[in-house]
Amino acid sequence: MGFSYLLFWKPYGVLTQFTDQEGRSTLKDYIDQLGVYPVGRLDQDSEGLLLLTDDGPLAHRLTDPRFDHPKTYWAQVEGIPDQSSIQALTSGVTIQNYRTRPAGVRVLDQEPNLPSRPVPIRFRKAIPTAWIELILTEGKNRQVRRMTAAVGFPTLRLVRIAIGTLTLEGLAPGTWRLLTNPEIQVLKKQHY
């Protein structure tokens, strides 16, 4: 019997684990596939793409920063980042005594077409917001939020839209699907 691979759009407020002693919403509330585990994490306040599998060697390669596996995020930030802030994020910033790796960063031309979040984003009439795209090859705890805060633009909403070539396309918050055989082959080809 082969391994299982599935993609899930983690909604806001869901923990990236299957159990919780405090009764908070977890992956178990959405995924009935047994034996799979998340490859990486998204914090409770973040949304977006999670890959789950029972293929331990592949999961290790996808989470080990030595393999430069890209993850793409859209972050709504408070304020409008200037070119020096974007350059700092691109070059790497220091967060918690750690210098982040260089990242792909750009300001999005318009607000992305995402479903509304169940908890509204903090709104301040006098402070505009912007959306930026960040492509990281590492995944420190709350890294995107800490990076944008380090350059003076706190993250208000964070959505992971892609893991390598896998995207949210065809999913809605709280839904999941199995990877197709061609998707699995591409994933393995890139990481074995």
43 is an active site residue? yes
Q: Residue ranges of the alpha helices (H) in the chain?
A: 56-63, 83-91, 143-150, 181-191
Tokens 């030595």 belong to which residue? 66
The backbone region for 67, taken as left when phi is positive above 0, alpha when psi lies in -120 to 50, beta otherwise, is alpha
Burial class from Cβ neighbours inside 10 Å (0-12, 13-18, 19+) for residue 175 reads: middle
Q: How far is residue 150's CA from residue 130's CA, in Å, rounded to a whole number? A: 16
**Of the residues 43, 45, 64, 68, which is catalytic?**
43
Taking residue 106's Cβ as centre, other Cβ atoms within 10 Å add up to: 14
Q: What amino acid positions are annotated as catalytic residues?
A: 43
